[in-house]
Chains A and B, each alone.
Chain A
Amino acid sequence: MDAQEKMLNELIKKQQADELKAKDRYEIPAQDMPAQDGIKRRSNMNEVALGYTETQARLEAMRCLQCKNAPCVEGCPVRIRIRDFVVAIAEGNNEEAISIIKHNSLLPAVCGRVCPQEVQCQEYCTVGKKFKDPEKSVSIGRLERYVADLAKEGDEVPGVALPTGKKVAIIGSGPGGIVVAADVRRAGHEVTIFEAFHKPGGVMVYGIPEFRLPKSIVQEEIDVLKKMGVELICNFIVGRTRTIEQLMTEDGFDAVYVGVGAGLPKFMNIEGEHLVGVYSANEYLTRANLMKAYQFGKGADTPIAVSKNVAVLGGGNVAMDSARMAVRLGAENVYLVYRRSEKEMPARVEEVHHAKEEGVQFCTLQNPKRILGDDQGNVVGMECLKYELGEPDDSGRRRPVAIEGSEFEIDVDTVIVAIGNGANPLIQQTTPGLEFNKWGNIVVDENCKTSLQGVYAGGDIVLGAATVILAMGQGRIAAAAINQYLHG
């Protein structure tokens, strides 16, 4: 028996005797996530975080103080009963834990992996507060992943009510669309998902890389939908193949959910952005993930730049994913160029750690001025400016200010622009009467209802580029509203 198991056994004994005190719980060390070796994983696409063992999970769960008011729940956008499921894990009752989670979240294996927990549930955790370090909070996301992965094998198909004769169209198969499909189908309505790409899953398959979220997890969720009788039509671009109006007036759909995501890459609008070797993160990641460019010539046909020195512009999850992908595609030097300091980076803390372990070089307080090319139009370098932090801006973060005359050049052959996504205008251009705000996002009320009768929307196309769990949360609201609309 190893030390960990011994510790666990003692704790269990104490617990059974009702003698486990807060002090004992604080003394349990926060459990690290086992991960693939930092050097080894530079050359494979396999998932980096390996998941807790049973012993680790129970130890971590025992760190939870079982707070009466469970402040953590406040930080979860879908209000999972966190305390209750963590307690269930501590007691070794994993089945109960997963059923508690599934009550609020349909994609725990996904959210447990990709939620920015440190600014959601874990930010509110009493344990983290006590240590004045959110990283010391109970690892709620990891525990969520642990039970979700255990439950995966025996996943049963949710029951479906008797047919109502009503038809619902879901546009986009991202997390929002998946959740709406499940909830609306359960109520007995006929459901068809329309997806523009040849594979379902939205950003979870074309954006977030395999090494962070294995595609098989998303596929399993899609398979469950199919077993429930949801129809899925890929290669169907709403607005082009059929418009929303045609779906509703000619094809007999009674309600529509629009979950088309953000999907419009932002560029810096600097000189040299048209050069060969400059990618939007969307293009780079789509080529690499969805089109499997890392297997180019070995079964896959989509090419991607063979790079030596790569600059990634940005500091969010999308930038981390691009940088870590570039490492795996064989780049010798990957620079992450960000104009604020590391503290302001919006990426998940875990991704920043992982990127560093994999050798991504962080160049903070710098920003490109222009990208340099040769006469063939290929990227050969980038001119940057140094920055310092000035007064806080509207977002409360200190505003980066360029230092005049601080220009310097770096030697790169590939530049990946990862500074965010705007709203794709296709639905706006093809759906008269649907109300949008000035950024091109669909306007909805608190039930996710749009300005058009029977049309609902959620996720990134409403919120701007947001998160999986927020898209999922809106999906649940929209589904409830659609079910009510079709019922009345």
Chain B
Amino acid sequence: MSFKILSKKQLSENVFQLDVEAPLVARSRKAGQFVIVSVDEDAGERIPLTIAGADPQKGSIRLIFQRVGKATAQMADLHEADALGYIAGPLGQPTHIQKFGSVVCVGGGIGNAPLLPIATALKEADNQIISILGARNQELLILEDEFKKISDELIVVTDDGSYGRKALVTEPLKEICSRDSKPDCAITIGPAVMMKFCCETTKGFNVPTQVSLNTIMVDGTGMCGGCRVEVGGQTKFVCVDGPEFDGHQVNFEQMMKRMSAYKALEQKALEKYRDHKCKIGLK
């Protein structure tokens, strides 16, 4: 089976979108699920990426990823007609989609990518969608147009005020929760700290809040336990029990610590890769 890249698009300085051949995944995936991807079939790292969209007819899935370390840098260097080493999935529990009423969807940075299929499915289930999209600056904001199409209300914020409102996502979130008709629920996907503060905000208003966790994974099938987090005092495996959880129950402190387990090693791997690229004359 080949996992050929059908098209590649750069969405911002460090965010890329790939449409990749993966017919079996395209056919069975549901909103909220992810795949495990490796650039190299033999020795590459297995990294989880959300399925940001799929075309079952064409047999392709869409991946949107941020260049943060070696594996994602390597992926960003691939071109149309290249192939990924492998893709396995779909993995994880699909998002529970139903008619809740009004739903606030809060996306931060690359989190907009996994949020989009969920917000779309919620819209299709007849919910009123209020989207809050946040980014550090205008350059880094992705998928605004797509969210516009499915949102009844869209608020964009940037940390530096280069676009939209100058604020953190928690600010508009708090305002929306304070409205007379407060939202029926919230879903937030982004960096762990952002999800943590969003949950603290909604907790005060008693707005049930789903988060999608991005812990470090290996197999993605519940076999290794590397993705474990504490939810409501119990150990859960993000790859099989999640990736979505009740955000008010998640132990974010612990999760953030576990996510930095390999920081030093990862840094070295990335530097080495960049160095190697310079030497062989790639850009």
Docked complex Cα distance between A302 and B260 (Å)? 14
Q: Interface majority SS on A: helix, strand, loop or mixed? A: loop
Given the complex of chains A and B, what is the CA–CA distance between A265 and B218 in angstroms? 13
Q: Which residues of B contact A233 (CB under 8 A)?
A: 1
B-side binding surface: helix, strand, loop or mixed?
Answer: mixed
Task: Determine the chain B residues whose CB is within 8 A of the CB of A237 once the complex forms.
Answer: 88-89, 91, 221
Task: Confirm or deny: B97 has a beta carbon within 8 angstroms of a beta carbon on chain A.
Answer: no
B261 within 8 A of A: yes
Is B257 an interface position by the 8 A CB rule?
yes
Q: Are B226 and A306 in contact (CB under 8 A)?
A: no
Task: Tally the A-B contacts, defined by beta carbons under 8 Å.
Answer: 119
**Complex-state Cα separation, A242 to B223, whole angstroms:** 19
Cβ-neighbour of A274 out of B43, B87, B230 (below 8 A): B230
Asked if B28 is at the interface (CB within 8 A of a chain A CB), the reply is yes
Task: Judge whether B86 and A234 touch: CB under 8 Å.
Answer: yes
Taking CB atoms, residues of chain B closer than 8 Å to A211 are none
- Which stretch from A51-59, A276-284, A448-456, A467-475 is at the chain B interface? A276-284
Known A236-B24, A237-B88, A303-B265; contact A283-B224, beta-carbon cutoff 8 A? yes
| B85-120 at interface with A (beta carbon < 8 Å) | 85-91
Known A-B contacts A242-B24, A301-B44; A426 and B225 likewise in contact (beta carbons under 8 Å): no
Q: Closest residue to B228 on the A side, CB-wise?
A: A274
Q: Which residues of A contact B224 (CB under 8 A)?
A: 265, 280, 282-283, 286
> Quick check: is B268 within 8 A (CB to CB) of the other chain?
yes
* Chain A residue at smallest Cβ distance from B33: A240
* Number of chain A residues close to chain B: CB under 8 A: 44
Asked if B38 is at the interface (CB within 8 A of a chain A CB), the reply is yes
Chain A residues, Cβ within 8 Å of B225: 265, 267, 280, 282-283
Rounded to whole angstroms, the CA-CA distance of A233 and B229 in the bound complex is 31
Name B70's closest neighbour in chain A (CB-CB): A301
Which residues of chain B (207-260) have a CB below 8 Å from chain A?
Answer: 218-219, 221-226, 228-230, 235, 240, 251, 254, 257-258, 260
Contact B240 A426 (CB under 8 A): yes
Minimal Cβ-Cβ distance residue in A for B230: A274
Measured in the bound complex, the distance between the Cα atoms of B71 and A301 in whole Å is 8
Which 4 residue pairs spanning A and B have beta carbons closest together? A377-B257, A283-B224, A235-B88, A301-B45
What are some 28 contacts across the A-B interface (CB < 8 A)?
Answer: A196-B88, A197-B88, A198-B46, A198-B88, A235-B1, A235-B86, A235-B87, A237-B88, A237-B91, A241-B88, A265-B223, A274-B229, A274-B251, A280-B226, A282-B224, A283-B226, A286-B218, A286-B223, A291-B43, A292-B43, A296-B269, A297-B265, A297-B268, A297-B269, A301-B71, A303-B269, A424-B222, A426-B222
